[in-house]
Homo-oligomer: A and B are copies of this chain.
Amino acid sequence: MTTVRLIQYEDAGPDVRAVYDDIMATRGSDWVNNFWKALAVHPPTLRETWARVKAVMAPGALDAVTKEMLYVAVSAANNCAYCIHSHTAGARRAGMSDAMYGELLAVVGLANQTNALANAMQVPVDDRFWVS
Binding site for B on A (CB under 8 A): 1-6, 31, 33-35, 38-39, 41-42, 44-45, 48-49, 52-53, 55-57, 60-62, 66-67, 69-89, 97-126, 128-132
How many Å lie between the Cα of A38 and that of B109 in the bound state? Answer: 14
Which B residues touch A131, using CB under 8 A?
1-5
Whether B118 pairs with A35 at a CB distance below 8 angstroms is yes
CB distance from A59 to the nearest CB of B (A): 9
Partner of A129, one of B41, B42, B85, B104: B85
Contact A117 B3 (CB under 8 A): no
CB distance from A35 to the nearest CB of B (A): 5
B1 touching A100, Cβ below 8 Å: no
Q: Is B130's CB under 8 angstroms from A1's CB?
A: yes
Quick one: given A69-B70, A71-B107, A109-B49, are A123 and B41 in contact (CB under 8 Å)? no
A73 partner residues in chain B, CB cutoff 8 A? 70, 73-74, 77
Closest CB-CB distance, A53 to chain B, in whole Å? Answer: 7
List 7 A-B pairs, Cβ < 8 Å: A1-B124, A2-B122, A2-B123, A6-B132, A62-B107, A67-B103, A109-B117
